[in-house]
A and B are shown apart, each in its own frame.
Chain A
């Protein structure tokens, strides 16, 4: 297999606080190859956004990377300076967030934002940039792109704005896209449009995509592989089919059972007792053990085995066997 576009190795993010050091991301490792969509799923506070923000160098202080490595096409990027990171972000890594307005300047026409980005990163003329901006808007499905290019962000609907953001993320032809809950604020039908668009662009251009979402249905439909996060750690990593149909980590298994989509027809949903602990109050051992039906003494004493990017599926001492999966 060729070298992955993105390699994250034992990434640790720390936040120093008055009462101690919090670790919202703790020894996380994964790879994303060209043309592949890796889903990152988990409940709110699991550390999904922190992982993505660490990769693009957009951690809000005092959060900082305190361990591990991030490699983009084989080059370390976790130790780059501010200016180098900024260039890299526009050129090699595109970003799509939940709220399209965080990526768009409300005072600039969308065409100007697109051409500016292209002129900064590609060796082309102003006229070429404008032509390409129209083509990009057309490609992401903005109707009458040539006449809409001089509109302002507020003149578009939420779904259309997110399309503009995708055009902006892709216009410098990056090798990696980080999409953090890109469809969470959108209606189902618009979500379907945006996911179909991301999949198509990723396939056609061979872009690697990290798709952060809390929606298992979106994961199942869009992703090739999936990383499940719980309390800052990777709970499970595998192909989407394996993780959804044969979850190994008891947390993933519980998550699937809680999803009404997966357990249709059942009168009651299978539920995981309790809720995810706060970072400052993580239990010893495996952070999931107080909620886990399989927990034993070892789980209370030792965190589950750390997952490597290329082997091991569940960070669990007693993974769920295929026969046990209920839903």
Chain B
């Protein structure tokens, strides 16, 4: 299948140095934070690609680079063959831009409180001089609200309803790709279920492609066709949900999955993960997970593992085969 989104060697470095004068006085060097490091993946049309990882792992930074809100320090993002950061043809840029929309976690912050819902939803189309007559009313019904809601203000809605409004706005320009950054993380589970079901329905109806960002493994497992696991800005494993959840191959994925609460884990005694995520300004050399990894060998401290095919997944670990075998033994026990 053709990839709608193609991300190659994507890297983003932030300059987090103190102001110049402080640095001179304290004799401190510049501090560079690598938020995303050499990440590559494809999203085929009409699929859901999920990025999962703990906070600070680089999920939002990747999402922003994919929609063009941030420029990559290195590497490329191509949407339908067009690299927004390098393309010079204004028409092409315009077409691709209108094919991409984004939904954020906080439906409160992303809606202008002084605008009526009608104007909020139609804005992406109005900005391009498109026809907005009846558009908001139609979209409101498509996301499970009422056409009359178009005349109301955001504060008249609950959190779940506001997220529906954000989804309606994202749909207004008939996009192909929607980047969803923690779209249900602020919602209660019963409302989350409504919004996730809506997103699945809309995807089928409009043939949408999602880049779905979440820290919640259960949500990701439910929604994704393919999952990329991030650790400290690096893609450490990529697999379909069944493969990832049934036989995670990267020691970090294994740790994360073991730590996640299980619905049938009554009285389960988890061996809690050891250590914490290291400082992204001074990441460990070699494999970034090596200080916490039970399988680390000297090579892991010297050489950064490349993503490679391992038993149906792509895994960045020198010892993925051993990790898989270890996971199997733990399951048998």
Interface of A with B (CB < 8 Å)? 43-44, 157, 159-160, 187-193, 195-197, 214-218, 220-221, 240-241, 244-245, 254-255, 257-264, 267-272, 275-276
CB-CB under 8 A from B215, the residues of chain A are 187-188
Given contacts A192-B270, A220-B266, A269-B193, contact A214 B222 (CB under 8 A): no
Closest residue on chain B to residue A262 by CB atoms: B263
Indicate if B264 sits at the interface (CB-CB under 8 A). Answer: yes
Q: Distance in Å from the Cβ of B149 to the closest Cβ of chain A?
A: 15
Interface 9-residue window, one of B40-48, B73-81, B107-115, B252-260: B252-260
B266 touches A217 (CB 8 A): no
> CA of A270 to CA of B196 in the docked complex: distance in angstroms?
11
B265 touches A255 (CB 8 A): no
Interface 9-residue window, one of B12-20, B61-69, B184-192, B300-308: B184-192
Interface string of B200-239 (1 = CB under 8 A from A): 1000000000000001011101100000000000000000
Closest residue on chain B to residue A245 by CB atoms: B264
> CA of A257 to CA of B269 in the docked complex: distance in angstroms?
25
Closest residue on chain A to residue B52 by CB atoms: A188
B256 touches A188 (CB 8 A): yes
Residue of B190, B221, B261, B266 touching A272 (CB-CB under 8 A)? B190
> CA of A46 to CA of B270 in the docked complex: distance in angstroms?
30
Knowing that A43-B188, A258-B190 touch, tell me 18 more A-B residue pairs with CB under 8 angstroms: A159-B276, A189-B255, A189-B273, A192-B258, A192-B259, A192-B260, A192-B270, A192-B273, A196-B272, A197-B272, A216-B263, A220-B262, A220-B264, A244-B263, A255-B189, A260-B218, A261-B262, A270-B193
Given contacts A255-B189, A255-B190, A259-B189, contact A189 B265 (CB under 8 A): no
Indicate if B9 sits at the interface (CB-CB under 8 A). Answer: no
Residue of B190, B200, B255, B260 touching A254 (CB-CB under 8 A)? B190
B55 touches A220 (CB 8 A): no
Indicate if B95 sits at the interface (CB-CB under 8 A). Answer: no
Closest residue on chain B to residue A270 by CB atoms: B193
* Majority SS at the chain A contact face: helix
Residue of A215, A220, A221, A260 touching B219 (CB-CB under 8 A)? A260
Q: Distance in Å from the Cβ of A109 to the closest Cβ of chain B?
A: 21
A43 touches B189 (CB 8 A): yes
Q: Distance in Å from the Cβ of A238 to the closest Cβ of chain B?
A: 13
Indicate if B280 sits at the interface (CB-CB under 8 A). Answer: no
Given contacts A44-B188, A268-B197, A275-B191, contact A191 B259 (CB under 8 A): yes
Q: Distance in Å from the Cβ of A154 to the closest Cβ of chain B?
A: 15
Closest 10 CB pairs of A and B: A217-B261, A258-B193, A192-B259, A43-B188, A260-B222, A187-B54, A269-B193, A261-B218, A193-B272, A189-B273
Closest residue on chain A to residue B204 by CB atoms: A267
Residue of A157, A196, A217, A258 touching B262 (CB-CB under 8 A)? A217
> CA of A220 to CA of B270 in the docked complex: distance in angstroms?
13
B221 touches A271 (CB 8 A): no
B260 touches A217 (CB 8 A): yes
Q: Distance in Å from the Cβ of B40 to the closest Cβ of chain A?
A: 25
CB-CB under 8 A from A254, the residues of chain B are 190
CB-CB under 8 A from A216, the residues of chain B are 189, 263
Q: Distance in Å from the Cβ of A160 to the closest Cβ of chain B?
A: 8
B200 touches A268 (CB 8 A): yes
B276 touches A157 (CB 8 A): yes
A259 touches B263 (CB 8 A): yes
Kindly identify, within residues 28 to 70 of chain B, every residue whose CB is under 8 Å from any CB belonging to chain A.
Answer: 54-55
Kindly identify, within residues 152 to 206 of chain B, every residue whose CB is under 8 Å from any CB belonging to chain A.
Answer: 158, 160, 188-194, 196-197, 200
Given contacts A190-B276, A192-B273, A269-B222, contact A221 B261 (CB under 8 A): yes
> CA of A261 to CA of B262 in the docked complex: distance in angstroms?
8
CB-CB under 8 A from B266, the residues of chain A are 220-221, 240-241, 244
> CA of A214 to CA of B185 in the docked complex: distance in angstroms?
12
> CA of A215 to CA of B192 in the docked complex: distance in angstroms?
13
CB-CB under 8 A from A43, the residues of chain B are 188-191
Indicate if B128 sits at the interface (CB-CB under 8 A). Answer: no
Kindly identify, within residues 253 to 304 of chain B, every residue whose CB is under 8 Å from any CB belonging to chain A.
Answer: 255-256, 258-270, 272-273, 276-277
Residue of A220, A260, A271, A276 touching B261 (CB-CB under 8 A)? A220
B188 touches A214 (CB 8 A): yes
Closest residue on chain A to residue B189 by CB atoms: A258
A196 touches B261 (CB 8 A): no
> CA of A56 to CA of B93 in the docked complex: distance in angstroms?
59
Given contacts A259-B263, A260-B221, A262-B263, contact A269 B188 (CB under 8 A): no
CB-CB under 8 A from A272, the residues of chain B are 190, 193
A259 touches B218 (CB 8 A): yes
Residue of A188, A245, A269, A276 touching B197 (CB-CB under 8 A)? A269
CB-CB under 8 A from A196, the residues of chain B are 269-270, 272
> CA of A185 to CA of B215 in the docked complex: distance in angstroms?
12
A264 touches B221 (CB 8 A): yes
Closest residue on chain A to residue B260 by CB atoms: A188
From A191, A215, A257, A271, residue with most partner B Cβ within 10 Å: A271
Q: Distance in Å from the Cβ of B69 to the closest Cβ of chain A?
A: 24
CB-CB under 8 A from A258, the residues of chain B are 189-190, 192-193
